[in-house]
Amino acid sequence: MSQLIKIAVDAMGGDGSPKKIIDGIIHNHKDNKESYFKIFGDEDEIKKHISNHVDKKFYEIVNTKNTVKSTDSPLEAAKRGKDTSMWMSIESVKNKETDIVISAGNTGALLVIAKLNLKMVENIDKPALSALWPNKKGMSVVLDLGANIECSPKNLVDFSIMGASLYKSLYPSENPNVALLNIGSEELKGNEIIKETFQILSEKKSQNFNFAGYIEGNELMNGEVNVIISDGFTGNVALKTAEGTANFITGELKKALSGSILGKISSLMNFNNLKKFKKRLDPRLYNGAIFIGLDTPVVKSHGGTDFIGFSNSLDVCNRIVKGNLIDKIKENIK
């Protein structure tokens, strides 16, 4: 079992758990026999769903009835006790029993409990929430998406190094272009923090990424930049705007193609192209945000995703561990 990637799974977080979580594990296991799952949650419920679907040599269940609720504040979640499925799954990576932890539970609680249990990578002050976004040419890494409302120039430089390391761990053959999200592309645009960060990154010579300057919101999807850096407030607004726009486009297109006879004929004639378009914008393909900056990777699956989305976030876990993300950050942050 030593060659398998060991994933700690909080099975009780998110909508429809634990069934959705276990269905995601089953779906992922069909195509990937490289992962071993240490599953934390209600043993009786979990056994109902996993038995006869996954060979017992690929998983174990740690029984706990106590869970972090979606309505808990981060403080309430931490006080709920060390016997919750979220706390115990994070503790398993702290104790080196597993390589990475994933939860679809309460985001604020996950960040706080992770910070209580896990150390920061040396020389990094704040962890960031990062995620994958689609672009015209493939994928981009974007951070911070909400963990830090206010950031110093040092934090943003750290995010650049961490984001580039994450991209390299996922796409080893590529050297990423890093850019700062700003209100314009000229050097004089933006506040003092972002302008100071621009100067530091312009002077910093890195073998791990190319600094591409500023990027505006309307250029996020053009594929010229692979790693996009911002403070958590700006990044979260950009994320929600992108998600809302994607949902609006697919919703309006669906209405247009199903609302009339002509629309229905058109959709039948363009069935394959529409199928590709829908798949490209499917949020399940990009599920799996990463708390980055801690000395162990922590992955947050969207609480509202289905089992396909959770399965995709398990793929992210697998690729992060195989890509030696933490070692890359430690090496590059020096």
Per-residue pLDDT tens over the stretch 87-101: 999 999 999 999 999
pLDDT of residue 162: 94
The rounded percent of the chain whose pLDDT value lies above 90 is: 55
Q: Is the pLDDT of residue 280 over 70?
A: no
Q: Model pTM?
A: 0.85
- State the average pLDDT over residues 276-296: 74
Q: Is the pLDDT of residue 278 over 90?
A: no
| Six-digit token string for 267 | 């959709």
Distance CA 128, CA 232 (A): 8
pLDDT of residue 1: 47
Are residues 121 and 293 in contact, defined by beta-carbon separation less than 8 angstroms? yes
Q: Are strands 227-229 and 138-143 parallel, antiparallel or unpaired?
A: parallel
Q: Is the pLDDT of residue 298 over 80?
A: yes
Residues 107-131 pLDDT 10s = 889 999 999 999 999 999 999 999 8
- State the average pLDDT over residues 218-239: 90
Question: Which residues are CB-neighbours of 288 under 8 A, at least 6 positions away?
Answer: 102, 131, 132, 299, 300, 301, 312, 313, 315, 316, 317
Are residues 157 and 200 in contact, defined by beta-carbon separation less than 8 angstroms? yes
Distance CA 229, CA 42 (A): 39
pLDDT of residue 39: 97
pLDDT of residue 264: 62
pLDDT of residue 282: 61
Q: Is the pLDDT of residue 222 over 60?
A: yes
Bigger pLDDT: 316 vs 190: 316
Q: Is the pLDDT of residue 286 over 90?
A: no
Residues 240-252 pLDDT 10s = 887 777 778 777 7
pLDDT of residue 136: 86
pLDDT of residue 277: 54
Bigger pLDDT: 62 vs 134: 62
β-sheet bridge partners, residue 103: 10, 300
Q: Is the pLDDT of residue 263 over 70?
A: no
Round the average pLDDT of the chain to a whole number and report it: 87
Residues 134-176 pLDDT 10s = 888 888 999 999 888 899 999 999 999 999 999 999 898 888 9
- State the average pLDDT over residues 299-305: 88
Q: Is the pLDDT of residue 272 over 70?
A: no
Q: Is the pLDDT of residue 254 over 80?
A: no
Domains of the chain (ranges, CATH numbers): 1-121+293-324 (3.40.718.10), 125-285 (3.40.718.10)
The rounded percent of the chain whose pLDDT value lies above 70 is: 90
Distance CA 136, CA 225 (A): 11
pLDDT of residue 276: 65
> What band does 3 get if pLDDT is binned at 50, 70 and 90?
confident
